A and B are shown apart, each in its own frame.
Chain A
């Protein structure tokens, strides 16, 4: 067996470990083992690559790796669970950026004379540079939005769609020119620059609540960029891993779109919040006169403590206030008193797929208590108190009842079917979609205003005092 065969077998082992890692993610009990398996496969693939014949500059490569590994580990260790969407966006961008740089470097290496690159390799090179750059820039903008370095609101300007369309067409056009004629570094750098600018402009107009879709999509793009570099370097492990990631990102993108009852195109090009702002603002003014029932923590504590069944509905507000630990403490108190407590998780609650699950897991909530939308909705009519913590649009009955509403048709958590609804909210401002929530005017609803963490902490104290 030649050394090259051994390396190929090592790559095959890595591929198997990645597939198994994803397979083991089908259950929380095996998932952690799967992750270790994937990491092991990755180590094997890297070691095999370093052992490749003809590889030069080992020292500088190893030094760079040894310096950057602790940076990645430190970032991963220190990041807060509430900041996970940013972290995922950042890693997406890093992977996409690496793919684009590989495309550029390999292009330079292969194309000193015009016409030397085979069409398929040229195409994959252009694709890895193009997709990688979009993913890089788009992810960094998503990161900046989630980190609130730039406004999470949609940022729009006139002619945006046309401008973006022209920009990406121009970048692709230069890519085609590379395939057809002069294979110069400058042209590929032009593609990278155009695609980078496109990535920025394409994510800027997308609002915060649509982030679950955007992050999933960028994940898919990074996977495809990695697969493209596999075609450039004729490397199966890159092709397979890229395809796996691409499939995962695509699947999640579709799931998120379905959970919002919106097409992916609408999410990406709709600038949702902006569109809905006009009529919603007018509607908001109209509801000011209507009575909203608000209560103090003591009253709410009594409702909760004497309930048989409580369903907690967390949303992005809980994440922002970092209230997950306080929420779990409240649930503990109630359970001590014999209350049945469950959590209802909407698929797009938060800023990324599964965001609420991770936060509650961090707060040590056992996962059998976390229920998906289809599971929990039939339970609401039998629920005494639905406790909505920092969630808004995903509980808005207008999605079921009012065809005129921009969110009409979106699957929601039917909290309005519970006997009593308690809503923890900072103020009466409408949710991300800019739509009023008629739930707050329901006679069964009680509002508890204030920061989510504050309110929950006061509830814990009030329940304890009973």
Chain B
């Protein structure tokens, strides 16, 4: 637990914040909602931390339950975040395409 490690970690943090500002300031307002849900998916990375803690050997049962709960939350976060972002981004089109097939039987409304 040297302080050198902390300094390295702080360096990483600060540089990452700068990279974050730099990259995200280029995202157009058009895509701000996918940006939110995309970063939502990325903070699902807490799943990695949850797995590490849940995988510690020899721990109290209640702690194992807490850690596994974190694994569950993290998994939902990751999977849901990426899936919903993909769903959203799929919709952004440059030209009007044929309306996507809906579940409802609305095929009677064809081209007019």
Partner of A109, one of B39, B42, B56, B91: B56
Query: B12, A236: Cβ atoms under 8 Å?
Result: yes
Main secondary structure, interface of B, reads helix
Further pairs besides A57-B55, A98-B47, A234-B9: 17, Cβ < 8 Å: A19-B23, A25-B31, A32-B86, A38-B42, A46-B78, A61-B54, A72-B81, A73-B80, A91-B44, A94-B77, A101-B69, A235-B49, A241-B45, A245-B42, A247-B24, A252-B36, A361-B88
> Can you list, as one digit per residue, whether each of B51-93 has a CB less than 8 Å from chain A (1) or not (0)?
1111111011001101111111111111111111111111111
Q: B70 to nearest A CB, angstroms?
A: 4
Q: A80 to nearest B CB, angstroms?
A: 11
Main secondary structure, interface of A, reads helix
Set of chain A residues within 8 Å of B51, measured between Cβ atoms: 46, 49-50, 55, 61
A437 lies within 8 A of chain B by Cβ: no
A392 lies within 8 A of chain B by Cβ: no
Q: B11 to nearest A CB, angstroms?
A: 10
Residue contacts A-B, CB under 8 angstroms, 8 given: A64-B71, A65-B71, A73-B80, A92-B40, A98-B50, A247-B19, A352-B32, A354-B31
Query: B38, A65: Cβ atoms under 8 Å?
Result: no
Q: A228 to nearest B CB, angstroms?
A: 10
For A22, A121, A222, A347, the residue with the greatest tally of chain B CB atoms inside 10 Å of its CB is: A22
A6 lies within 8 A of chain B by Cβ: no
- What number of A residues sit within 8 Å (CB to CB) of B? 115
Q: A136 to nearest B CB, angstroms?
A: 9
Interface residues of A in 302-328 (CB under 8 A from B): none
A389 lies within 8 A of chain B by Cβ: no
Interface size classification for chain B:
35 or more
A72-B75, A95-B74 given as contacts; is B57 within 8 A of A219 (CB)? no
Which of A173-181, A260-268, A362-370 is near enough to bind chain B?
A362-370
Interface residues of A in 1-38 (CB under 8 A from B): 14, 18-19, 21-23, 25-29, 31-32, 34-36, 38
Which of A81-89, A199-207, A282-290, A439-447 is near enough to bind chain B?
A81-89
Set of chain A residues within 8 Å of B63, measured between Cβ atoms: 104-105, 108-109
Query: A230, B76: Cβ atoms under 8 Å?
Result: no
Q: A344 to nearest B CB, angstroms?
A: 12
> Can you list, as one digit per residue, whether each of A32-69 has a CB less than 8 Å from chain B (1) or not (0)?
10111011001001100110101111101100110111
A353 lies within 8 A of chain B by Cβ: yes
Interface residues of B (CB under 8 A from A): 1, 3, 5-6, 9, 12-13, 16-17, 19-21, 23-57, 59-60, 63-64, 66-97, 99-100
